[in-house]
Amino acid sequence: MSYFILGSNSFSGATYVNQLLLRGECVIGISRSSQPHPVLCPYHSNPNYKNFYFYQLDLNRHAQKIFDVINKHKPKYIIDFASQSMVAESWLSPEAWYTTNIVAKVRLHQYLRQCDFLERYIRISTPEVYGHTPEKITETARFNPSTPYAVSQAAMDMSVLAFYRQYQFPVVITRFANFYGPYQALYRIIPRAIIYGFLNKELPLHGGGASIRAFIYSTDFTRGVDAVIQRGKLGETYHFSDDHFISITDLIRKITSLLQIPYESLVTVVSDRPGKDNQYLMDATKAQRELDWKPRVLLEEGLYETIHWVKKGIDSIKALPFEYIHKD
């Protein structure tokens, strides 16, 4: 079997699992959480679901069992979506973020560097390693992380590149702009805004929505991962981002316009999260030039598809928790 997905129950991981299954691939998934509710699981109704082999295992607690699964299936490609990934919450127990995102990953890489069947390890990193970026930056920009989460990701990027230099560990690093779409976790800004619009609830807008971001739709995200597997150069880093940057305020205005509700009826302004960076502006020229990748789905199109998913599943969605629940 070629594809081994770490963090297969995350939004990004599950979305990529679904894409691989649709292509008829056999996929092994590892996640510490149980498989998500069907309304949050893109591969739940996949016609090739029988080709998905899932193991509920934790990188911190079940390292040897994970190594045994890897050795059993001997995958050519490992795509790593697994991490403690919440930003503000990382201040509450930084050691948990460092344990999962650094210590457990180093243990994994120390094992994987001895696996001669592994051809590519795709690391899903984050633009937050750069901190606030006042202008568009390339992959050579210096790290300036602002939160324990971002520190842990920057440390792991440096560690895995050291493994590449020392052991020729077959890593390619990716940093994606905010990706979104159907099945995204309900506490994320786009699904949450849509859900609150449908339910006539007030949406807390941290810092008044002044932060600037780029957003790419889930299918453009999976195309990016495919491009790195097929054409990415080992030891290199690639940015994947739209050139269109938008404030969270303007993003919510687009959503309320599509929902045909007044912006003022949805939003209430609250204080900003600790350590939140104002903007991430990544230059994706390298991915366009070397991987022939650029986003295809316009923001309005992607928001429409996400609204359709929420509308179709609202009875199930409204019974689920909307807040992030930390798992130790």
Strand segments, DSSP code E, in 32-83 are 52-56, 77-80
CA 230 to chain centre: 20
Q: For residue 41, what is the DSSP state?
A: -
Q: In whole numbers, what is the pLDDT of the chain averaged over residues?
A: 94
pLDDT tens digits, one per residue of 77-88 = 999 999 888 777
pLDDT tens digits, one per residue of 49-74 = 999 999 999 999 999 999 999 999 99
pLDDT tens digits, one per residue of 35-47 = 889 999 999 999 9
pLDDT at 172 over 80: yes
**291-317 average pLDDT score:** 97
| pLDDT at residue 322, as a whole number | 82
Beta carbons within 10 angstroms of residue 67's beta carbon: 16
Q: What does the alpha-carbon distance between residue 127 and residue 137 come to, in Å, rounded to a whole number?
A: 10
Q: How confident is the model at residue 276 (pLDDT cuts 50, 70, 90)?
A: low
| pLDDT at residue 1, as a whole number | 59
For the chain, the straight-line distance linking the first and the last C-alpha, in angstroms and rounded, comes to 31
pLDDT tens digits, one per residue of 87-107 = 778 888 899 999 999 999 999
| pLDDT at residue 274, as a whole number | 65
Of the listed ranges 102-111, 205-214, 247-256, 279-288, the one predicted with least confidence: 205-214
| pLDDT at residue 9, as a whole number | 94
- Hey, what's the torsion of the CAs at 211, 216, 222, 227, to 10 degrees? -100
| pLDDT at residue 167, as a whole number | 98
Q: What does the alpha-carbon distance between residue 281 and residue 134 come to, in Å, rounded to a whole number?
A: 8
pLDDT at 190 over 80: yes
pLDDT at 75 over 70: yes
**226-250 average pLDDT score:** 97
Q: Amino acid identity of 101?
A: N
pLDDT at 10 over 80: yes
Q: How confident is the model at residue 328 (pLDDT cuts 50, 70, 90)?
A: low
Domains located in the chain, CATH noted: 3-179+217-240 (3.40.50.720), 185-213+244-279+298-317 (3.90.25.10)
| pLDDT at residue 278, as a whole number | 82
Question: Which among 191, 204, 189, 198 is positioned nearest to 261, based on CA atoms?
Answer: 198
pLDDT at 319 over 80: yes
Q: Which residue has the tokens 């940015």?
A: 239
DSSP string, 104-156: HHHHHHHHHTT-TT--EEEEE--GGGG---SS-B-TTPPP---SHHHHHHHHH
Q: Amino acid identity of 227?
A: A
Percent of the chain with pLDDT over 70: 97
pLDDT at 261 over 80: yes
Q: What does the alpha-carbon distance between residue 121 and residue 230 come to, in Å, rounded to a whole number?
A: 12
- Helix (H) and strand (E) counts in the chain: 11, 13
| pLDDT at residue 259, as a whole number | 97
Contact 99, 63 (CB under 8 A): no
